[in-house]
Structure formats: structure tokens, C-alpha cells
Chain A
Amino acid sequence: MRIGIVCPYAWDIPGGVSAHVNDLAQALIRMGHYVSVLAPAEFDDFLPEFVVSTGKPRAVKYNGSTARLSFGPLVARKVSKWIEEGDFDVLHVHEPLSPSLSVLACWAANGPIVATWHSAMDRSRMILTLSKLAQTAMEKVSARIAVSEAARATLIKHVGGDAVVIPNGVDVSSFAKATPMFGWPGPNMSIVFLGRGDEPRKGLEILVNAYSQIRANFPQVRLLIAGPGEPDDALKKLSKADRASVTVLGMIAPVDKASVLASGTIYVAPNIGGESFGIVLLEAMASGTPVVASNLEAFDRVLDFGRAGVTFENENSVDLARVICDLLGDEAKRAALVQQGKIRANEFDWNVVAREIVNVYESIRVPGVKVEPDFTGQLIGRLGRGRITPEPRGEL
């Protein structure tokens, strides 16, 4: 099958959506499909073969944070040309309501279009959803996918209709072969935390509050914190000796994530809310590290309701200390969790997830119907009809 995928966010800036698109594209290529990804990129030199760049994204204040997006008449023309030349059987756009490439691609194309919703959106972003133009573009989408129940719920509530839930995938094989960082976990045990140290939602403070209690029972335990943001605020409550047993790595490269996760005797996700899925839990399981997580609904689901990991009462550091001490003292239980975790992670392997996504492609395909450029469709298409004419091939 010839598949065109559109990623609205900058390719070379790490982010959930571009990581998802990258993994999906590679899994589809392994299955033998032809894949072309259209994405904005800061630098064109280091792009994988299957990525077509629309040039440098522009930083825009959008929905309270700075997003790097791509838009404008020149970009619209590139999108049309990519669709024209791609001769795709299926067009797959991601995060279709961001004011970037995805919505442009919906405007510029006709035929089998699939859209994936990633985030659970809030009200402010819904202004765009409600705009007539976006809605008209959405009408062209034949199949919708949501990556989580939360994303699906927002879609149903604000846009209407329904979506198939297909979760994010995990590249199990690359996490499974990760080796721990040098000297970790070492002869003694260690706890790993991953995420912004200065964002209360990630729950580092809950873990820190439990830490002295854990150290009282297991004096040799160390704590490894990785992620952007200064965790000092949360750590200043610790005694000198406890503080000395904490290692702060700061921001880590995506390639190092696996070895950081593998460096823990236990991985802890004390998030207090706002998680729609919890992919990092699966990554820890794939790395062979037992998982302890707060009992958020999303986490419960990923952990298969206790079978693949242990949960504690959300925001309760006493309960967290109890759960961690239980696990540190029970090697057999850890070994069982590692085994169950690997089985669970395999259910979310990209090869499995990509097969589900291909089922979606196939379920809207009809022989002879392909993705075609649409020059006459929407308002912008009409106004810019003169501009967005296909050009001779081979220039993009």
C-alpha cells in the first residue's frame, strides 16, 4: 500500500506526536508498505529517507504554549504537490485540529483519509474545532483514531461522532536490549523517576516524601531522577544523607531513556493526574524494570489492573513507601512482575499496533479509489485556486 502520513509538528524537536509518526512509519515500512511522511523540519540534512520537509516551522504562541507549526500559501502549495506526486492509497493525518500541515492536507486532498487524535484537548483549543473551516475539513476524514480513551472522550464531546481507540506503540525490542548505566543499579537497589522535576503533576514530591521512610527500611537504596526541570524544590526536604543518595541526571536524550529505565530496581510513576495513557510505564516494562504507579485510571489500564505492575493510592506517600518497601524486600515478586510486564509490553509493540492501524486503512479502502488532490474544495482552496496549481514533477 502507498501511505502518506502528515505530522504537524517539527520533526527534529522531540515530541510525542513526531515520535509516534516516526515509529509508525518504520513499522509500516518493515511490513512492506511504501511510506512518505510530510513534516516541518528545522534542518533538512539529517532527515530519514521517508520524510519530506516543508521547511522551517514557525514558532507560534498557540493554546498557551509555543508550538512549532508550518503554514502559509507556500506551505499549502508544497502539501498539494506532495499529495499529487505521492499517488497514495491512504492519507493519514495526525492531530488534525492543530493549525498546521494536517488541516492543510485535509483541505488539499480527497479520498481515503484517516485522522489520529493524540491529545485530550481543552476548551480553548475547541475554538478552532468549532470554526466552520476546520469542521468542513474534518468532514473529509473517513476514519478517526484516538490514541487513548481520554482523547476519544474529548472527540466525542466536542466534535461529535466516534473513534476507534488504538493506543501508542512501544518499540519493545530496542527497550529490551537496553543495558543499565555503568554502576547501576549496582550491588544495592535503586529507584528510577522519569519526568519534569519541577512540575507538580508528575508527582516527584510524593516520591520524595516517601523516600526517607524507604531509606529507613533500606539504607542502601539510591534514587535516580531524569528529565528536564530543576527538582531542587522537591528535594530540599530531604536530610543530608538522603539527599546524597539522589542522582539528578537532568534532561536525557531519547536514545538514553531505555538505559535509564533499565538502571532501576524499580521504576516509579507517582503522577497525580493529567495522564491520558502512560507510555513510559510500558517502556519501563519493556526494559525489564518492575513498575510502581499511582492508581490513575489510565495507569490502571496500562498495568492491566495490577497484573503487570503495582499501584498505590494517588497522592499518598505513606502508601507509596509501603508499596515500594514491599517490593524491594520481595525478589520473587519483582521477578514475576518483570515477566508479566514484558508480556504486557509486547501487546503494545509497534508491530502489533501498526497491524491494527493497517486494519483501519483497509476498512475504508475500495479498489480503484485513491487519494487525489482537491483544488476546488474549501474556502482557501477557492481563493487560492490560481496559486495552488500542480507544478511539474520532481522539484519538491
Chain B
Amino acid sequence: MSSQSIFILGFVAFCIWYLSHQAGRLDRLHHRIDVAELALHGQLLRRGGIVAELAAVPGIDPALSVIWGQAAHEVLILPEVASPARTEVEDELTGILAMTLGDQDEVNEIRSIAHAGALLEELAQVSTRIQMSHQFHTDAVRDCLEIREQFLVRFAHLAGFAKPPARFALEDQILGTLAN
């Protein structure tokens, strides 16, 4: 074999290896996004569950109970994972929590009711986890888009039919009043 054909063979082999390498990376990143999305979803549902429980605690005033119960219900019945509809109900719940639990004296009052104290603690914890999950999801999406936008990756259609990942818009604020 001439040295030229060896060179061409080598080059082709390298191209195949490189493309499969990039495809492997992309596949892993898509998987990472899926897992991050599910993790975030799990934490959001947990928050909905905690607020629903909080609404049902005896001794919480009925107006608060209805407001919390309603917002939590909206979160829990929605089937979609990351979607504009999900963003809307979650942001709604976040806003309601900020409004109802924004005042330290009020929070202390609620905390003194039996069962409510433990639930508020769980709520604080799950809020932290939602914020982290959201950030890690955003990180994964950014890593993935970086590769998807490379010329060769687009040219060779390496992403296949996987939908381009999107950042999941979410208000995530932590209520300082819940800290001990």
C-alpha cells in the first residue's frame, strides 16, 4: 500500500473515531439533562406535597389553608415535567409562599402550631434543593448546547432526533424567614 493510502485510511479512521466520540459525549449530556430534569421535578412535587400538608394542618387559619391548598393542588395535578405550564404553576406557588411566609413574626406564629414547625423546616430544605437542582439543570443545558452548536456536530447531524434542550425558567428564591 502506498503511503498516501495509509494516510487517507488513517485520516478516515480518525474522523470516524472523532465523530463517534462526539456522539458519545452528546448522548451522555442529553442523558444528564434528562436526569437533572427528573431530579428537579421530584423536588418540585415534594414542595407541592409539603404545602398541601401544611394547608391541612389543624390550626392554620382557613383563608391561608385555601390559598395554600389551591396552589399546591395546581402543582400536583399537572402532568407535564418541564414546560411553560409547569413554570406558571410553580412560580405561582413560589409567589404565594413569599407572600404568606415573608414576615418573620407570622412565620414564628405558624411555626408554633403543632406539626407546622416540622413542615416549615422541610419546606426550607426543599426550597434549597429546588434552587440547586435548577442551577444544575441549567449547567447541563449549557454544556450540551455548547457541543450541539459546533459546526461538525450540526453538519454530521450527531444530535439525531433529540430535541434541542432548553433552560427551564423558574423563579427560585429562598425565603430567609424560614431559616432557624
| Residues in chain A within 8 A of chain B (CB atoms) | 110, 112, 136, 139-140, 142-144, 160-162, 164, 356, 359-360, 362-367, 369, 376-377, 379
From B35, B43, B142, A142 is in contact (CB under 8 Å) with: B35
Enumerate chain A residues within 8 angstroms of B29, measured Cβ to Cβ: 139
16 A-B residue contacts at CB 8 Å?
A112-B35, A139-B29, A139-B32, A140-B32, A142-B32, A143-B139, A356-B128, A363-B129, A363-B136, A364-B36, A364-B39, A366-B35, A366-B38, A377-B24, A377-B28, A379-B21
Please judge, given known A-B contacts A144-B139, A364-B36, whether A136 and B132 are in contact too, CB under 8 Å. Answer: no
Chain A: minimal CB distance from B133 (Å): 4
Chain B: minimal CB distance from A86 (Å): 19
Enumerate chain B residues within 8 angstroms of A360, measured Cβ to Cβ: 132
Is there contact, CB below 8 Å, between B39 and A366?
yes
Enumerate chain A residues within 8 angstroms of B138, measured Cβ to Cβ: 162
Enumerate chain B residues within 8 angstroms of A140, measured Cβ to Cβ: 28, 32
Enumerate chain A residues within 8 angstroms of B21, measured Cβ to Cβ: 379
Chain A: minimal CB distance from B130 (Å): 8
Chain A: minimal CB distance from B50 (Å): 14
Is there contact, CB below 8 Å, between A162 and B39?
no
Is there contact, CB below 8 Å, between B129 and A369?
no
Enumerate chain A residues within 8 angstroms of B38, measured Cβ to Cβ: 366
With A112-B35, A377-B28 known, 14 other A-B pairs at CB within 8 A are A136-B25, A139-B28, A139-B29, A140-B28, A142-B36, A143-B132, A143-B139, A162-B138, A164-B132, A359-B129, A362-B43, A363-B132, A364-B35, A367-B42
Enumerate chain A residues within 8 angstroms of B128, measured Cβ to Cβ: 356, 359
Q: Is B177 an interface residue (CB 8 A)?
A: no
From B32, B43, B142, B143, A363 is in contact (CB under 8 Å) with: B43
Is there contact, CB below 8 Å, between A160 and B135?
no
Is there contact, CB below 8 Å, between A359 and B143?
no
Q: Is B104 an interface residue (CB 8 A)?
A: no
From A112, A136, A362, A379, B129 is in contact (CB under 8 Å) with: A362
Enumerate chain A residues within 8 angstroms of B139, measured Cβ to Cβ: 143-144, 161-162
User: CA A362 – CA B42 in complex, angstroms?
Assistant: 10
User: CA A152 – CA B125 in complex, angstroms?
Assistant: 23
Q: Is B54 an interface residue (CB 8 A)?
A: no
Q: Report how many A-B pairs have Cβ atoms within 8 Å.
A: 62
Please judge, given known A-B contacts A363-B132, A365-B39, whether A142 and B140 are in contact too, CB under 8 Å. Answer: yes
Please judge, given known A-B contacts A142-B35, A359-B132, whether A110 and B28 are in contact too, CB under 8 Å. Answer: yes
Enumerate chain B residues within 8 angstroms of A161, measured Cβ to Cβ: 139, 142-143
User: CA A144 – CA B43 in complex, angstroms?
Assistant: 18
Enumerate chain A residues within 8 angstroms of B125, measured Cβ to Cβ: 359
From B24, B32, B129, B142, A160 is in contact (CB under 8 Å) with: B142
Enumerate chain A residues within 8 angstroms of B35, measured Cβ to Cβ: 112, 142, 364, 366, 369
Is there contact, CB below 8 Å, between B28 and A143?
no
9 closest Cβ contacts across the A-B interface? A363-B132, A363-B133, A363-B129, A366-B38, A143-B136, A161-B139, A366-B39, A359-B128, A359-B129
Contact with A along B60-87 (1 / 0, CB 8 A): 0000000000000000000000000000
User: CA A377 – CA B22 in complex, angstroms?
Assistant: 11
Is there contact, CB below 8 Å, between B39 and A363?
yes
User: CA A79 – CA B140 in complex, angstroms?
Assistant: 25
Is there contact, CB below 8 Å, between B136 and A364?
yes
Closest A residue to B20 by beta carbon equals A382
User: CA A143 – CA B132 in complex, angstroms?
Assistant: 8
User: CA A40 – CA B146 in complex, angstroms?
Assistant: 35
User: CA A360 – CA B125 in complex, angstroms?
Assistant: 11
Chain B: minimal CB distance from A116 (Å): 14
User: CA A157 – CA B130 in complex, angstroms?
Assistant: 25
Enumerate chain A residues within 8 angstroms of B28, measured Cβ to Cβ: 110, 139-140, 377
Enumerate chain B residues within 8 angstroms of A160, measured Cβ to Cβ: 142, 146
Chain B: minimal CB distance from A156 (Å): 11
Contact with A along B101-116 (1 / 0, CB 8 A): 0000000000000000
From A112, A139, A164, A376, B135 is in contact (CB under 8 Å) with: A164
Closest B residue to A164 by beta carbon equals B132
Task: Give the residues from 35 to 54 in chain B that come closer than 8 angstroms, CB to CB, to chain A.
Answer: 35-36, 38-40, 42-43
Chain A: minimal CB distance from B119 (Å): 17
Is there contact, CB below 8 Å, between A364 and B133?
yes
User: CA A379 – CA B17 in complex, angstroms?
Assistant: 10
Task: Give the residues from 134 to 169 in chain B that come closer than 8 angstroms, CB to CB, to chain A.
Answer: 135-136, 138-140, 142-143, 146
User: CA A366 – CA B36 in complex, angstroms?
Assistant: 8
Chain A: minimal CB distance from B28 (Å): 6
User: CA A291 – CA B129 in complex, angstroms?
Assistant: 34
User: CA A217 – CA B2 in complex, angstroms?
Assistant: 90
